[in-house]
Amino acid sequence: MTEAREVLVSVKKNVGRITLNRPKALHALTLSMCETMIETLLAWQADPEIDMVMIDHSGERGFCAGGDIRMLAESGAGDGVEARKFFHTEYRLNHLLFHYDRPIVAIMDGVVMGGGVGISMPAHYRIATERTTFAMPETGIGLFPDVGGGWYLPRLPGKAGLWLALTGARIKGSDCMRLGIATHFVEFGAVEGLKKAILADHRRIDETLRMYRADAGKAPLVGFEQDLNRLFVGESVEQIFEFLEADSCDWGKAQLAVLKTKSPQTLKVAFEQLKRGEAMTDFADNMAMEYRIGSRVVRRHDFIEGVRAVIVDKDNAPRWDPPSIEAVDDADIQAIFAPLPPEEEWTPLADA
């Protein structure tokens, strides 16, 4: 096995293995990690001996907690060049994985958030455990559910994707199975055995997964699914707030309380992102849209302030601007989605 900084790359019996190796940071993605994965995947795509790809992580703390948020905030507070370069590269990785011509296995054990969602959702086999915690928590830091969130989330059953996008709710492995986020559920204690079995004979992966399959248990989502699909409807974030405020159920009240802690600007961005993404037919179009959003919101007050409150000072008391949904200018939101100058637009890899 060879180490390429924070990513371990190896090949065994026609299976290429990418292991995220930044455990102290919960394997949060850096620019160099994205570049290494792209280079590796392109090389394997050109290699007829590689039949399958496995993506996992070292250590026991989690799959991937997202991207390098501090770097993005520091760059956004300046000229934003480094942040845009990171987004451009990460989104190319997401697109490459989405269209990859070999089966991909993602071991979604532990924390799967933000950037971790972007590299696991394109996989053909998405394996959750009882330790899986899946979330897109970006509205809490003034960002938005990127890395393909505009494509994947509105395609989940009912209004679950919109709920996840707006509230940043964390769900476990059983809910991931319920929503189709995960394709298989395996107990954590059996994961190493499963990986060894796949590497030993990847051609029997379906049989192997049946052998290692475990019962995920009842999904907590079942208990509030009806309320979710009843309340997270409407033509705007304002309407969702109205429905939640008028409803008497405890679950709805709890969701309203959560939403009131999020960036109003980002709530409206995420709503518009999912609305547009749902109507798209090409994943590349979605990534181009998300790059336009990312290029702009990373330099805005709410992202800088959200990172300060949640990650730097950790006082969890962000001062959003605008401070309320009603104060957000719809024209300002539309400007965030506007095309960039042609030379600044996101483009996929030629080989993807």
Residue 170: its pLDDT value, please? Answer: 98
Q: Taking residues 43-59, report their average pLDDT.
A: 96
Judge whether 321 counts as a catalytic residue.
no
- Among the listed residues 16, 62, 114, 115, the single catalytic one is 115
pLDDT of the residue at 61: 81
| In the predicted structure, residue 113 carries a pLDDT above the cut 60 | yes
Is 227 one of the catalytic residues?
Answer: no
pLDDT mean over 285-306: 97
The per-residue pLDDT for range 129-142, each reduced to its tens digit, is 999 999 999 999 99
pTM of the model: 0.96
pLDDT value, residue 2: 47
If one counts every other C-beta atom within 10 angstroms of the C-beta of residue 47, the result is: 13
From the candidates 56, 68, 138, 290, give the one annotated as an active-site residue: 138
Closest Cα partner for 87 from 310, 287, 267? 287
Q: Which amino acid is at 266?
A: T
| pLDDT for the residue 219 | 97
Strand order in the sheet with 133-135: 62-64, 111-113, 133-135, 171-172
Supply φ then ψ for residue 16, to 5 degrees.
-85, 135
pLDDT at 244: 97
| 141-183 pLDDT, tens digit each | 999 999 999 999 999 999 999 999 999 999 999 999 999 999 9
Going from N- to C-terminal start, the domains of the chain cover 2-344
Catalytic option among 16, 62, 66, 67: 67
Q: How confident is the model at residue 326 (pLDDT cuts 50, 70, 90)?
A: very high
Residue 115 annotated among the catalytic residues of the structure: yes
Q: Write the CB contacts of 18 (distance below 8 Å, at least 6 apart in sequence).
A: 7, 8, 9, 37, 40, 41, 53, 54, 55, 56
- Is residue 114 part of the annotated active site? The answer reads no
Instruction: List all residues 6 or more positions away from 303 whose beta carbon is below 8 Å from its beta carbon.
Output: 72, 73, 76, 141, 142, 143, 297
Q: What fold does the segment set 2-344 form as a domain? A: 2-enoyl-CoA Hydratase; Chain A, domain 1 (3.90.226)
